[in-house]
Amino acid sequence: MKAFLKSIALLGLFVVSAKAAEITEKTIVYQEGETQLEGYAALPKEAEGKLPVIVVVHQWMGLTDYEKMRCQQLAKLGYLAFAVDIYGQGVRPSSMSEAGAQAGKYKSDRALYRKRLNAGLAEALKQPQADPDKVVAIGYCFGGTGVIELARSGAEIGGVVSFHGGLDSPTPADGAKIKARVLALHGADDPHVKAADLAAFEEEMRKHEVDWELVKYGGAVHAFTQKMAGNDPSKGAAYDARADQRSWQQLMTFLGQVFGQ
């Protein structure tokens, strides 16, 4: 009898877990100035009440299935995840040269980049399930640069997490505007981030007394969370399963701390 009751209890847990894993996905068209943008949201299917918000900023190829996958992962954990669109609706590079041109446009115009980032944040907070008091932004590569720019814009959010993002400080005085906790997850052997940029980032954070962390993963290069980067570190960008897993766990710990979970 005890074994039977235990089986029923376990079945009940399985049903609840399966139900919790169900998510709702939707495409959301929004504006920044005269530019139409197309974001993506994922959240628990039967969410009740307000949900912590994770804003996801894409890598240089634009909003792709990769960012949607990350949003789905987060939604299954109980978050409202919103992937912003920086480039504009229908602007999805098909080559590295196109991606470089698009990313370069915003890296050279940080004011425009911040406008697009804040437009995405505002759209995320328009979702009826969004808890405006519990918001974190995460970004990958180009998007990793972006979330730090979002923080530098003075955004009223709890934290930002940069995965293998550019860490240069073109306007270090803007560090004074940062209200969010900052976590930078960095490949120790990333050739795309210069030692001078790392030093400038650290100095900016220290000077303005930001609550910040910089975690380096030994042996990891650029794009270490992305399988589409291949597995050849000699190219400067490659997937690293160990760094991917460790950085995701670092994110989970960070979210728990920021959201008080």
- Residue 6: pLDDT band with limits 50, 70, 90: very low
User: Exposure of 48 by Cβ count < 10 A (0-12 exposed, 13-18 middle, 19+ buried)?
Assistant: exposed
Please say whether the structural domain 23-259 has been given the CATH code 3.40.50.1820. Answer: yes
Question: Given the structure tokens 């981030």, which residue do they identify?
Answer: 193
pLDDT the model gives residue 261: 72
Per residue in 92-137, pLDDT (tens digit) is 999 999 999 999 999 999 999 999 999 999 999 999 999 999 999 9
How many residues appear in the chain? 261
Would you call 48 helix, strand, or coil by DSSP?
coil
Distance (Å, whole) CA 219 – CA 136: 28
Determine the average pLDDT of the residues in 39-44: 98
Is the pLDDT assigned to residue 26 strictly greater than 90?
yes
How many beta carbons lie within 10 A of that of residue 28, not counting itself? 18
Phi and psi angles of residue 165, each rounded to the nearest 5 degrees, phi first: -95, 165
- Residue 250: pLDDT band with limits 50, 70, 90: very high
Is the pLDDT assigned to residue 12 strictly greater than 60?
no
Closest to 255 measured CA to CA, from 81, 112, 125, 100: 81
- Residue 11: pLDDT band with limits 50, 70, 90: very low
Distance (Å, whole) CA 181 – CA 158: 6
Per domain, the residue ranges of the chain are 23-259
Q: 19 CB contacts (<8 Å, ≥6 apart)?
A: 46
Work out whether strand 51-57 and strand 130-140 pair parallel, antiparallel, or are unpaired. Answer: parallel
- Residue 46: pLDDT band with limits 50, 70, 90: confident
Q: Which of 5-9, 58-62, 216-220, 242-246 has the lowest mean pLDDT?
A: 5-9
Question: Given the structure tokens 């990350």, which residue do they identify?
Answer: 70
Is the pLDDT assigned to residue 185 strictly greater than 60?
yes
Q: Which of 17-21, 102-106, 161-165, 219-223 has the lowest mean pLDDT?
A: 17-21
pLDDT the model gives residue 47: 81
User: Exposure of 47 by Cβ count < 10 A (0-12 exposed, 13-18 middle, 19+ buried)?
Assistant: middle
- Residue 55: pLDDT band with limits 50, 70, 90: very high
Order of strands, sheet of 80-83, starting from the edge strand that comes earlier in the sequence: 23-32, 35-44, 80-83, 51-57, 130-140, 159-163, 181-187, 212-217
pLDDT the model gives residue 18: 39
Determine the average pLDDT of the residues in 24-52: 95
Work out whether strand 80-83 and strand 159-163 pair parallel, antiparallel, or are unpaired. Answer: unpaired
pLDDT the model gives residue 10: 39
Phi and psi angles of residue 132, each rounded to the nearest 5 degrees, phi first: -65, -15
Q: 36 CB contacts (<8 Å, ≥6 apart)?
A: 29, 30, 88, 89
pLDDT the model gives residue 9: 41
Closest to 251 measured CA to CA, from 165, 162, 190: 162
0.95 exceeded by the pTM? no
Higher pLDDT, 185 or 47: 185
Determine the average pLDDT of the residues in 57-75: 98
For residues 74-100, one letter each, b for 16 or more C-beta atoms within 10 angstroms of the residue's C-beta and e for the rest, the string is bbbeebbbbbbbbbebeebbeeeeebe
- Residue 21: pLDDT band with limits 50, 70, 90: low
- Residue 191: pLDDT band with limits 50, 70, 90: very high
Determine the average pLDDT of the residues in 50-60: 98
Q: What is the mean pLDDT of the chain?
A: 92
Distance (Å, whole) CA 134 – CA 230: 35
